[in-house]
Structure 1
Amino acid sequence: MEKIVGLWRNMSKPDTLTLARQIIDWFLARGWLVLTEWEDILERKAQFLISLGGDGTLLQAAREGASLGIPVLGVNFGRLGFLCEIEREDVFGALEKILNQDYKIQERLMLNAVVNRIGKDNISHLVLNDVVFSRESTDGIITLQVNLSGELSVSYPADGLIVSTPTGSTAYSLSAGGPIVSPDVQAVLLTPLAAHSLSARPMVVSEKEEIQILLTNGEKCRVTFDGRQNDLIYSGQTVIIKASPIKALLIRLGSRSFPQVVREKLRDRWHE
């Protein structure tokens, strides 16, 4: 069997190019083929991907690799790096572990979001972090009604709403006051943005729920998917969100537990 690895690099970070060249030489010396173009990675099906960048780069690589069952090792070049497994200085020790089969693959919950577009075909998005509903800057507050498996649950008069996975709980949802949720928990988070009602509270619901988001007040609302693709929905339109059968696959080397990652990334440096 041909030994193939794929490199997924953040092109906006020059430092990733230097490390990418070193990684290529390292693998070539061990008889591995290194692919850097996604079309080639798709055709040849790499055994795993190496993501060079921050959490955003890892999200892209993990989404693309998920449908093919390709696991991803995240190498952090970003500021926080909640999802990335290792820092850049640790990369070659980590690769030795992977080639020696000394690693685990962690499955991460992903969401499938279907936008009901009036007069057009519905469009579907695969999401690892979150689906974010937000009012346009020139508009007033909007109201988003949440139905869980067909039953009215709560309405959010707010500037918006974040629907996130446990993976996304440490991203925008955390900034908006949502809870940190372990990636081992199979759940979906609903976190309002600047809610205009004391009863509009964050919720954590089962991943088995079908979540229907309906714009009931306001002319329009922007919806973004993992911070990349976006769409506009209008009054009366819905977005259906449910757990995807496809899982993101992240390579874990067992060096850090989730509580340890939380301590490292979120410690209050004012108190050190």
Structure 2
Amino acid sequence: MNIVGLWPNQSKPETENLSLQLKHWFRSRQWEVVPKWQEGAREKVNFLISLGGDGTLLEAAREAAPLGIPVLGVNFGRLGFLCEIERDEVFVSLEKILREDFVVQERLMLEASLRGSGEGSFSTTVLNDVVFMRESSEGLITLQANLSGEPSVSYPADGLIVATPTGSTAYSLSAGGPVVSPDVEAIILTPLAAHSLSARPMVVSHGEEIEILLARGRTCDVTFDGQHHLVLHPGETICIRRSALKALLIRLGSRSFPRVVREKLRDRWHD
């Protein structure tokens, strides 16, 4: 049986209306619809439709990755760098998917874990980024980055972003980091308001194991894809490495990466 899953952003009321339309559309074509990604039905889903912005797509892709399920992103957000289609393209695009006229793109994911904590272990997988940020009451902090066990660079700054190529067009971009094609398997380190001219963004191999330590400062907030959160203390380390999982995104061939960059960043140099 053909089954499609829906992953709507519940905070956007307009996604409910499209969810209802999708249920009728698929059922008229003898497809079963799993409306809210229920337990027990996940393994049977052919593909998942994310209804929301990039944040919603990140959630859906992280959940679907362990099961090898591809995700189609429908943009209800403002920017929508990751989403493949806009709302008015949904049904035309779905006709292409049912004809199997699409490709599945693999995206690098990172595994982040906490070491040296007396409060137990923590590990999670991210598709976008791991963000280190000084607390509002804290002054300048210094974050040390070790690459494959060797001290590499020290960042006296307000914080640091460790991003995938997918995450290069998110917070890292606004902080002055490079735009990296999703076809490039690399990890990007971008400091936030660095207080040193030598503390520059870095692009390193996806094979590197990156250790981030709080070299100066009392505490540091750490967020993972904007979802999970913890406080990093001196003596603790966040270890970041390539995940064995890959996020799977459905691509229909109409939005090349250069086109997405041009449209989303409103670059008009070519006009």
Q: Normalized against structure 2, the TM-score is what?
A: 0.97
Asked if 1:157 is matched to 2:153, the reply is: no
Contact 1:142–1:215 at 8 Å: present in 2 too?
yes
Shift of 1:59: 0.4
Q: Secondary structure at the match of 1:109?
A: strand
Q: 1:206/1:74 Cα in 2 relative to 1: closer, same or farther (>3 Å)?
A: same
Matched residue, 1:217:
216
Distance 2:203 2:145 in 1: 13
User: Aligned in 2, Cα 1:256/1:125: closer, same or farther, shift over 3 Å?
Assistant: same
Residue 256 of structure 1: how far off its partner (Å): 1.4
Contact 2:48 2:71 in 1 (8 A): yes
Deviation per residue, 1:13-65 (Å, 9 max, x gap): 11111111001000000001100232346545200000000000000000000
SS at match of 1:8: strand
Contact 1:157 1:195 in 2 (8 A): yes
Question: Unpaired segments of 5 or more residues in structure 1?
Answer: none
Q: Distance in 2 between matches of 1:176 and 1:141?
A: 17
Q: Aligned residue for 1:258?
A: 257
Measured in 1, the distance between the counterparts of 2:258 and 2:27 equals 37
Contact 1:117-1:233 within 8 A present in 2 as well: no
- Structure-1 separation of matches of 2:238 and 2:156: 17
State the alpha-carbon separation in 1 of the partners of residues 241 and 190 from structure 2: 16
**Aligned 8 A contact 2:8 2:36 in 1:** no
| Amino acid of the structure 1 residue aligned with 2:246 | K
112-121 vs 90-99, which moves further = 112-121
Distance (Å, rounded) in 2 between the aligned partners of 1:232 and 1:122 = 13
Question: Structure 1: how far apart are the matches of 2:244 and 2:127?
Answer: 12
Match of 1:236 in 2: 235
- Quick one: which amino acid aligns to residue 89 of structure 2? D
Which string of whole-angstrom CA distances, capped at 9 and with x for unpartnered residues, describes residues 159-189 of structure 1? 0000000000000000000000000000000
Structure 2 residues not aligned, in runs of 5+: none
Counterpart-to-counterpart distance in 1, 2:117 and 2:257 = 42
| Residues 43 and 201 (structure 1), Cα distance of their counterparts in 2 relative to 1, 3 Å cut | closer
Query: In 2, are the aligned partners of 1:150 and 1:212 still within 8 Å (CA)?
Result: yes
> For the Cα contact (< 8 Å) 1:9–1:16, is it kept in 2?
yes
Give the aligned residue type for 1:66. Answer: A
Asked whether the 8 Å contact 2:116–2:235 carries over to 1, the reply is no
Instruction: Give 3-state SS (helix, strand or coil) of 2:244's partner.
Output: coil
Q: Normalising by the residue count of structure 1, what TM-score does the alignment of the two structures yield? A: 0.97
Number of the residue aligned with 2:21: 22
Question: Contact 1:117–1:123 (CA<8 Å) still a contact in 2?
Answer: no
Partner of 1:69: 68
- Please name the residue that 2:34 is paired with: 35
The alignment covers a number of residue pairs equal to 271
CA separation of 1:117/1:150 partners in 2, compared to 1, >3 Å: closer, same or farther? closer
Deviation at residue 269 of structure 1 after TM alignment: 7.4
State whether residues 130 and 162 of structure 2, in contact with CA within 8 Å, keep that contact through their aligned partners in structure 1.
yes
Note if contact 2:166-2:182 (Cα within 8 Å) is conserved in structure 1: yes
Q: Does 1:97 align with 2:72?
A: no
Distance 2:2 2:133 in 1: 45
Q: CA RMSD, aligned part only?
A: 1.5
Runs of 4+ residues over 2 Å off in structure 1: 37-45, 268-272
Q: Is the 2:8–2:15 contact (alpha carbons within 8 Å) kept by the matching residues of 1?
A: yes
Q: What is the CA deviation profile of residues 53-100 of structure 1, one whole-angstrom value per residue up to 9, with x for unaligned ones? A: 000000000000001000000000000000000000000011101110
Contact 1:114 1:122 in 2 (8 A): yes
Tell me what 1:177 maps to: 176
Amino acid paired to 1:135:
R
Task: Assess if the C-alpha contact under 8 Å between 1:148 and 1:210 holds in 2.
Answer: yes
Cα drift, residue 117 of structure 1: 4.9
Distance 1:153 1:147 in 2: 5
CA distance in 1, matches of 2:212, 2:34: 40
1:267 aligns with 2:266: yes
Equivalent-residue separation in structure 1 for 2:201 and 2:40 (angstroms): 40
Distance 2:268 2:179 in 1: 19
CA displacement at 1:116 relative to structure 2: 1.8
